[in-house]
Amino acid sequence: MITKRIIPCLDVKDGRVVKGVNFENLGDVASPVDMAKIYTSSGADELVFYDITASAEGRRIFTDILTETASNVFIPLTVGGGINSVADFDRVLKCGADKVSVNSGAIRNPGIITEAAKLYGDQCVVLSCDIKRVNGEFRVFARGGRDDTGMEAIEWIRRCVGMGAGEVVVNSIDTDGVKGGFDIEMLDAVCKAVSVPVIASGGAGSIDDFIELFRKVPTIDAGLAASIFHFGEVSISDLKDRMAAEGIPVRRL
Amino acid sequence: MVAIIDYGVGNLFSLKSSLKAIGADAVVTADEKVIAEADRIILPGVGAFEDAARKLRESGMADVVKKEAAAGKPMLGICLGMQLMFDKGYEYGEHEGLGLIHGNVRPISDVIPEGYKIPHIGWNLLKFKKESPLFKYINEGDYVYFVHSYYAADCDDAVLAVTEYGADLTAAAANGNVYGCQFHPEKSGNVGMKILKAFVEL
């Protein structure tokens, strides 16, 4: 039976891992390569690296880090942040990424999804979506959750999957950084709308939150989190032991 | 030395790195002489069957691979590289494969019940069907990483291991010196490394 995936997310800026609360107040954690190795040996099923640098110099450092990580860590690696063209896909795939996630780049130019899916296959294209409730509807936000695009999220996700996105990361801005649990209502709505794998992001504060996620949204494929793993509040091996005890299919080392 | 066949398909960085990590010499190449000198061959691949099969033929690599397989050189196809080793692929039409392992590549939607997501993405466990030197360092029930929408069918005699995803799907197959795995050993953590190690020791 296929297992539910646990995915630590590393936001990388100037060669270091950072994590913001509600996307602000970025605090420094550790070396991305070291963290990737630690997570792999503690049972992470996959890693996500987000490049949150804006400068060309920062981008070069990020690419070097990616290369070093992919030379040392042999589990799937998804890369996002600053992906605006097929050339950006090419740049990170050559450095060892397996999947590439698009967010604002797809909002500006949805055609990038079709183009990349044709070149690299649907399985390579991950749609990442920052969503917040506005006037009773799920709204897509761009630029790291700063800009309201006015687009309804479920429709946007359906459209992107139709164009070739092979996986969807749903990040709820409403629950992100609050550590009060995943956004069950939002995730359920997305899982009902599409048939590709859906990854839950935003809100995990404890092991119980993951258990609630996999119980209440049985079709969700993976849970993603950052700071609770980075700061050791939840260990991946404890989390997986508990999932197994609860009868949730999980890969253990 | 391991020759990783370069025919313009897929991302070979991780595969090369993973072989290096287990201490194996590996080279990504489309040079017939280098391939002839290598003591084993890996045929990688991601993407669509038709496109990859065409690139394999047009690059001349199809003939090289067939020749080396006939000469008895150990060979491992990974993911689409494994699928290409079969007789035919039914992905958007009917397309000829290398015919090194008897069987056909069909959509997993043919056999899995509704409600299962396609592609089959993620970590799933191996159920052994036959003993194989490829598995000498791993155990039944170990998890490996899959990403695929098609599977090798009509190949019961060749199946080494299956994985359950609503139905038993071929996870690994072999015909003599020619091996294939549907999953990605280079992305399957320690279990994958052990499979690659077993392959380079064949």
Question: Which domains are seen in chain B, by residue range?
Answer: 2-200 (3.40.50.880)
Q: Inform me whether the C-beta atom of residue A206 falls under 8 Å from chain B C-beta atoms.
A: no
Does residue A11 carry a catalytic annotation? yes
Chain B, 47-106: which have a CB under 8 Å from a chain A CB? 47-48
| Inter-chain residue contact A120 with B17, CB threshold 8 Å | no
The tokens of B72 are what? Answer: 């008895």
The residue annotated as part of the active site, out of B79, B120, B155, B181, is B79
pLDDT in tens, A114-170: 999 988 888 899 999 999 999 999 999 998 889 999 999 999 999 999 999 999 999
The tokens of A147 are what? Answer: 């800009």
Q: Inform me whether the C-beta atom of residue A248 falls under 8 Å from chain B C-beta atoms.
A: no
Q: Which domain holds residue A40?
A: 5-245
Give the whole-number percent of chain A exceeding pLDDT 90.
Answer: 76
User: ipTM of this model?
Assistant: 0.92
Whether A136 is covered by a domain: the verdict is yes
pLDDT in tens, B70-101: 999 999 999 999 999 999 999 889 999 999 99
Q: Which residues of A touch B118 (CB under 8 A)?
A: 195
Asked if A206 and A14 touch (Cβ cutoff 8 Å), the reply is no
DSSP letter assigned to residue B36: H
Whether A252 is covered by a domain: the verdict is no
Number of domains in chain A: 1
User: What does the pLDDT read at residue A28?
Assistant: 52
The residue annotated as part of the active site, out of A130, A176, A183, A209, is A130
CATH code of A177's domain = 3.20.20.70
Greatest pairwise CA separation for chain B in angstroms: 49
Q: d(Cα A191, Cα A15) in Å, to the nearest integer?
A: 34
| Inter-chain residue contact B121 with A98, CB threshold 8 Å | no
The residue annotated as part of the active site, out of B95, B120, B148, B184, is B184
Nearest residue, CB atoms, A76 vs list B187, B190, B193: B187
pLDDT in tens, A84-95: 999 999 999 989
pLDDT in tens, B57-72: 999 999 999 999 999 9
Question: Which of B147, B195, B197 has the highest number of chain A CBs within 10 A, making it the mutation to test binding with A?
Answer: B147
Whether A86 is covered by a domain: the verdict is yes
The tokens of A122 are what? Answer: 């649907």
Q: Inform me whether the C-beta atom of residue B192 falls under 8 Å from chain A C-beta atoms.
A: yes
| Inter-chain residue contact B20 with A93, CB threshold 8 Å | no
Which pairs with CB-CB distance under 8 Å and at least 24 residues apart come from B29-38?
A: B29/B3, B29/B4, B29/B5, B30/B5, B30/B6, B30/B59, B30/B60, B30/B61, B32/B60, B32/B64, B34/B3, B35/B3, B35/B5, B35/B64, B35/B68, B36/B68, B37/B1, B38/B1, B38/B2, B38/B3, B38/B73
Whether A183 is covered by a domain: the verdict is yes
Mean pLDDT of chain B: 95
